[in-house]
Amino acid sequence: MVQNFQCPKKQDFSRRIVLSDETPISNVASFVTERTLDIFDVLTLDGKERAQLFLSKDPKTWKDDEVFITMRDRAINMKVVNDSAERAIALIERYNESITQNEDQKQYLLQVVAAHRKKLPTASKAAMMKGYK
């Protein structure tokens, strides 16, 4: 796999891997290119250069390598948000918590919102003007 870091990045790069019966892939190493090294720059300053220090060694010795340990720990502790839905849910939860901490007030607020949605099912200025006449 380390040798594949020398492979040039693919020009027809897409964010999704599409496999077909003609795709000659035998293992994960087939997906590794020089672009894969970019992950090391995410983990630490001068990551590509620092990663070469442990990548050039025998993988059995990596567990004792200071650079490897630092990058491994940062990768383990990295919070990954891989989906816009997860970000939206987190945003809504934070907003909900910022409004009030009192459960009774939250329930009342939800009832008020439900009543407004019944009265104004379409969120537009015209519907709002019509609903309040």
- Residue 67, class by beta-carbon neighbours within 10 Å (0-12 exposed, 13-18 middle, 19+ buried)? buried
The one-digit pLDDT tens for each residue of the chain (133 residues) are 566 566 666 666 566 666 666 666 667 777 777 778 888 888 888 888 888 888 888 989 989 999 899 989 998 998 776 677 788 888 888 888 888 788 888 888 888 888 888 887 787 888 777 766 6
Please check whether residue 1 is in contact with residue 32, taking contact to mean a CB–CB distance below 8 angstroms. yes
How distant, in Å, are the alpha carbons of 99, 103, 106, 113 from that of 96?
6, 11, 8, 13
Question: Would you say the pTM of this structure is higher than 0.85?
Answer: no
